[in-house]
Structure 1
Amino acid sequence: MIEIPDETIENLQVRLRRISGQILGIEKMLSDGRDCSDVVNQIAAARKALDQVGFKLVAAGLRSCLSDPVKAQESGYDITQLEKMFGRLA
């Protein structure tokens, strides 16, 4: 398992709660019959925010792997594995 600092996890959790609020807002926009363009803009914003959570998580993993490559490899997460994760986000 990759060790991710508590402050990074807390930051990601805050971002995810914001995204959750955005999703609820999108649902309300649909219920309220808002313009399609407005809804799509909010979907794009939520998607970008979620992508940023993923990128920050992978970046934290890379920092962890670079700081202790042996421990990272023993846990099954080496640079190659993290590159694959990053590729799934791109």
Structure 2
Amino acid sequence: MSCPKCDANASVKTKVREEKEYKDLINRLKRIEGQIRGIEGMVENNSYCTDILTQVAAANKALNSFAKVLLSNHIKTCVTNDIRAGKDETVDELLDVLQKMMR
């Protein structure tokens, strides 16, 4: 039994997300996008370096938070369902992505 919302058999993997999950992820990305635009404005306005770096740290934290939510959702749905279906290669895929995230 494969995850009904994850299409791992397609040439490009896709996932249909619940409306709540979708809206949460998009809202987080829009806030991050706004933070990045704010940083760009600070550079354009010759803001002091440490003020810009403080905002960069906040944007990094927001992006890491986004990644944690997305990873958690992925483990709870696609990974769990693939393991139950005997698709052990999903564990290797998860380990690969975790290694990339920890660089």
Q: Same fold (TM over 0.5)?
A: yes
List alignment gaps of at least 5 residues for structure 1.
none
Q: How many residues align?
A: 87
1:47-90 deviation digits (Å, cap 9, x = unpaired):
1111111121111110012245318x3xx972331232222222
Cα pair distance change 1:12/1:84, threshold 3 Å: same
Q: Which has the larger radius of gyration?
A: 2
* 1:58 alignment partner, one of 39, 50, 71: 71
Runs of 4+, deviation exceeding 4 Å? none
List alignment gaps of at least 5 residues for structure 2.
1-6, 8-14
Match in the other structure for 1:32: 45
Question: Which TM-score applies when normalising by structure 1?
Answer: 0.79
Match in the other structure for 1:7: 20
Residue identity over aligned pairs, in percent, reads: 28
8 Å contact from structure 1 (residues 61, 82) kept in 2: no
Secondary structure of residue in 1 paired with 2:59: helix
- In terms of fraction of residues, the more helix-rich structure is 1
Question: Which TM-score applies when normalising by structure 2?
Answer: 0.71
What is the CA–CA distance in structure 1 between the aligned matches of 2:20 and 2:63, rounded to whole Å?
A: 18
2:100 maps to 1:88: yes
What is the CA–CA distance in structure 1 between the aligned matches of 2:22 and 2:72, rounded to whole Å?
A: 12
Instruction: Give the number of the structure with larger relative contact order, counting CA–CA contacts within 8 Å between residues 6 or more apart.
Output: 1
